[in-house]
A and B are shown apart, each in its own frame.
Chain A
Amino acid sequence: MTTRKSWAPYLFLTPAVTLFALFLALPIGYTVYLSLRRTKVSGLGLGKGSKREIFVGLDNYAAAIGDGDLWTGWLRVLGYGVLVLVVMLGLALVFALMLDAARVRLARFSRIAIFLPFAVPGVAASLMWGFLYLPSVSPISELFGVAPLSQSAVVYSMANVAVWGGTGFNMLVLYTNLGAVPQDLYQAARIDGASELQIALRVKIPILAPAIILVTVFSIIATIQVFTEPTALRPLTNTISSTWSPLMKIYRDAFVTGDLYSAAATAAVIAGISLVLSFGFLRVVKNRAFGET
């Protein structure tokens, strides 16, 4: 009995630990290893053995952090992220509350209609919007005041694609959470004379706080990793550079200019920043939302 007790937990842990080691720890470790190396060429670099891999310490990190492109990319993504977060989560919350209101017509249809864009793959959505944005092929170009892919408008056009695609999912998370709230709470509020609007503001939103925080953290991580939309729109316009977002820079370094080592270092830097941002946000709001001290 006692011997069994000692190995049983490890046995049960094995699948999880193996998967974690193989598919998470190992790739991360390899990325960090690569980020400390680089190839060194001698002479023309054409003969045998003229190229070798050397250890360079933190050189790649210094280059990544010192690269202005990365930080202008971050600034762009920051502006884009604030825009997307506010509009997308705001809309998701409003839609969820509206669908959850006592009297609402066509609830099923509206729910599906709002959720459906989430089912469209990001590349398809970006290309579809891209075609709508291009003046000469767009059936609705007159609706936009300015050219949507011009330098001043391109961030908004891209945010629009993300909001269009992401609102439905966040709405559904919030809406499902609302469904789990016991109806007694609302009845009590109604007996106290609260209107539907007051119930929404004073009862539902506070109850939803943990779910709102959850979708915010997910959305922060998703916007930091913005890649699909700008990459799919890039061939259509002159306004999106190959380093528009930090992730695009990694892609460019690794797969266009063939410098895996710099890409690995930049990836590590971005992972660090994402961690700080998401956990930072959690720390700031945790106490208030969960009543923890």
Chain B
Amino acid sequence: MHMNRLAAVAAAVTLVAGCSSGGAQQSAAPSSSAAQNAQNAQKVALTYWNWVPGMDKVVAVWNTAHPDIQVTSSTQAGGDDSATKFLTAAKAGNPPDLVQAEYQALPSFVAAEAVADIKTAADPVKAQFSEGIWGLVTLGTDAVYGIPQDSGPMLLYYREDLFKKYGIAVPKTWQEYADAARAVHAKDSKVYLGTFSSKDPGSFAGLAQQAGGQWWSISGEAWKVAINDEPSKKLADYWGGLVKEGVIDNMPYFTPEWNKALNDGKLLTWPSAIWAPGPLSTNAPKAKGKWAIAQLPQWNAGENFSGFWGGSAVSVSAGSKNKEAAAKFATWLNSDPEALALLVKEGSVYPAATKGADLLSEPPAYFSNIPDFWKQAAGFGAGARGFTFGPNVNVAYNAFKDAFDKAALNKTSFSGALQSVQDATVADMTKSGFKLAQ
């Protein structure tokens, strides 16, 4: 999740600065497992890279109950670079035993042979997850490359008070959303119904899933890349049109400006995922209790579709010396009722396990105005459909940022930008030697 992008960038910059000047202080943490192994043969020590807040408290509960398998949680920056960091560590031969793997990054982990198949440990808990979520960790193969931890079905967050003030109804379709955007902006030129963020390909991918896009798929022994398929093109041109018309803002999400606009009531909606209460409460504290939630606007009236933005699994490194113990921990963490309750409480995680929903009775403090927040949210997100992620999502997402930055700034064609994302993705896969279906 993208709560703290500035901090991530700051960390990345200092990291690079640190490497160029020294290079010796790198990764002292992961090697500790081997050292402890030598010390005590029966005792297994595992390292676990993740960026779930409060994970150390969850791990402490496991460690007390399992003196023979001791887990050390190591907090990572998360964000775009986390996947590459893990791949680099795996290539260098000192990966952590367990890693938080975002669903879109998992195929690249599998392609790099960095994560292990944990089918034996995972099969008993398979029934606790929905089929769509389980598909994200099997990639449609017989293997299981991780245990799903959280998911991010999308819904529409809107300012109830300001909707009343400007006299607009909750949009049921994207057509109504566009009309509402025009109406709001006509009433107050400083206020927008929403913004298009060129920095968040994950959000766009979620909306593309809702529209029915299939960016990657496997046909036989070849990959099919269709980032510019009809539903996605329609989606791109929809937002491009609104940005060009000037009725939707084009500032990126998770910036100080965006925070301020949310706080000051200059942005009235945010099509976001179920984890949005977290960022909203830190970025827009003044608007507490003024938001409400609804189903994402639909492309055709009467439908009930959504997409996924974010979400991750816990995977076991192929290079781990204690794969069995690691898989045991990953399974416990994401299916045991006690662990799930802790994840919800300490980490504000929306559990992927179906029984996790029952644990979410209290609404998030930011949404105390909606007592049945989780029930409503689960209902709105129920129609979420995902798609298969390809082995070079990082390349596609980076191309997305550059292409849509330019398009949003110059107000040029968004489907043109989408085409260049498709081209960059296909070119990269061709260069690497992946077999592509025509």
Q: Do A and B bind each other?
A: yes
A-side residues, CB < 8 A to B, are: 23, 27, 39-46, 48, 50-51, 121-123, 127, 130-131, 134-137, 151, 227-228, 231-232, 234-243, 251-252, 254-258, 260
**Which 7 A-B residue pairs are closest in the complex by CB-CB distance?**
A41-B433, A238-B405, A45-B111, A238-B409, A40-B433, A257-B395, A41-B432
Measured CB to CB, the nearest residue on chain A to B11 is A123
B-side residues, CB < 8 A to A, are: 5-6, 9-10, 12-14, 16-17, 23-24, 80-81, 83-85, 87-88, 107-108, 110-113, 139, 141, 198-199, 218, 221-223, 250, 252, 254-257, 260-261, 391-392, 394-395, 398, 401-402, 405-406, 408-409, 428, 432-435
CA distance A46 to B392 in the complex (A): 12
- Tell whether, in the assembled complex, residue A39 and residue B252 are in contact, meaning their CB atoms are under 8 Å apart: no
CA distance A223 to B21 in the complex (A): 17
- Tell whether, in the assembled complex, residue B87 and residue A258 are in contact, meaning their CB atoms are under 8 Å apart: yes
- A-B contacts, 29 listed (Cβ < 8 Å): A39-B432, A41-B434, A42-B433, A43-B221, A43-B434, A43-B435, A44-B221, A45-B111, A50-B111, A51-B111, A123-B13, A131-B256, A134-B257, A136-B257, A137-B257, A137-B260, A227-B16, A228-B17, A231-B9, A231-B13, A232-B10, A235-B6, A235-B199, A235-B255, A236-B257, A242-B402, A255-B84, A257-B395, A257-B428
- Tell whether, in the assembled complex, residue A44 and residue B434 are in contact, meaning their CB atoms are under 8 Å apart: yes
| Chain A residues, CB < 8 A from B10 | 123, 127, 232
CA distance A225 to B16 in the complex (A): 12
Rounded to whole Å, the gap between the CB of B409 and the closest CB of chain A is 4
- Tell whether, in the assembled complex, residue B107 and residue A40 are in contact, meaning their CB atoms are under 8 Å apart: no
Given contact pairs A43-B221, A255-B12, A256-B80, a sample of 8 additional A-B residue pairs in the complex whose CB atoms are under 8 Å apart: A41-B391, A44-B434, A46-B107, A51-B113, A121-B14, A135-B257, A227-B16, A255-B84
Residues of B contacting A: mostly: helix
| Chain A residues, CB < 8 A from B409 | 151, 238-239
Residue among B5, B257, B391 having the largest count of chain A Cβ atoms under 10 Å: B257
Rounded to whole Å, the gap between the CB of B3 and the closest CB of chain A is 13
Rounded to whole Å, the gap between the CB of A270 and the closest CB of chain B is 13
- Tell whether, in the assembled complex, residue B84 and residue A256 are in contact, meaning their CB atoms are under 8 Å apart: yes
Measured CB to CB, the nearest residue on chain A to B199 is A235
- Tell whether, in the assembled complex, residue A46 and residue B398 are in contact, meaning their CB atoms are under 8 Å apart: no
Rounded to whole Å, the gap between the CB of A29 and the closest CB of chain B is 14
- Tell whether, in the assembled complex, residue B13 and residue A228 are in contact, meaning their CB atoms are under 8 Å apart: yes
| Chain B residues, CB < 8 A from A43 | 221-222, 434-435
| Chain A residues, CB < 8 A from B199 | 235
State which of A50, A131, A134, A241 has its C-beta within 8 Å of the C-beta of B405: A241
- Tell whether, in the assembled complex, residue B81 and residue A236 are in contact, meaning their CB atoms are under 8 Å apart: no
| Chain A residues, CB < 8 A from B250 | 238
Known: A134-B257, A241-B406. A45 touches B6 (CB 8 A): no
- Tell whether, in the assembled complex, residue A238 and residue B113 are in contact, meaning their CB atoms are under 8 Å apart: no
- Tell whether, in the assembled complex, residue B402 and residue A241 are in contact, meaning their CB atoms are under 8 Å apart: yes
- Tell whether, in the assembled complex, residue B23 and residue A232 are in contact, meaning their CB atoms are under 8 Å apart: no
CA distance A135 to B261 in the complex (A): 11
Rounded to whole Å, the gap between the CB of A261 and the closest CB of chain B is 10
CA distance A252 to B395 in the complex (A): 9
- Tell whether, in the assembled complex, residue B223 and residue A236 are in contact, meaning their CB atoms are under 8 Å apart: no
| Chain A residues, CB < 8 A from B85 | 255
Measured CB to CB, the nearest residue on chain A to B13 is A123
Rounded to whole Å, the gap between the CB of B78 and the closest CB of chain A is 14
| Chain A residues, CB < 8 A from B198 | 238
CA distance A45 to B222 in the complex (A): 9
| Chain A residues, CB < 8 A from B17 | 122, 228
Rounded to whole Å, the gap between the CB of B189 and the closest CB of chain A is 14
| Chain B residues, CB < 8 A from A237 | 252
- Tell whether, in the assembled complex, residue B398 and residue A251 are in contact, meaning their CB atoms are under 8 Å apart: no
State which of B9, B80, B408 has its C-beta within 8 Å of the C-beta of A238: B408
| Chain B residues, CB < 8 A from A45 | 111, 391, 432-434
Residue among A45, A123, A231 having the largest count of chain B Cβ atoms under 10 Å: A45
| Chain A residues, CB < 8 A from B405 | 238-241
Known: A46-B107, A51-B111, A234-B9. A256 touches B432 (CB 8 A): no
Measured CB to CB, the nearest residue on chain B to A250 is B16
CA distance A224 to B405 in the complex (A): 24
| Chain A residues, CB < 8 A from B6 | 127, 235
| Chain A residues, CB < 8 A from B87 | 258
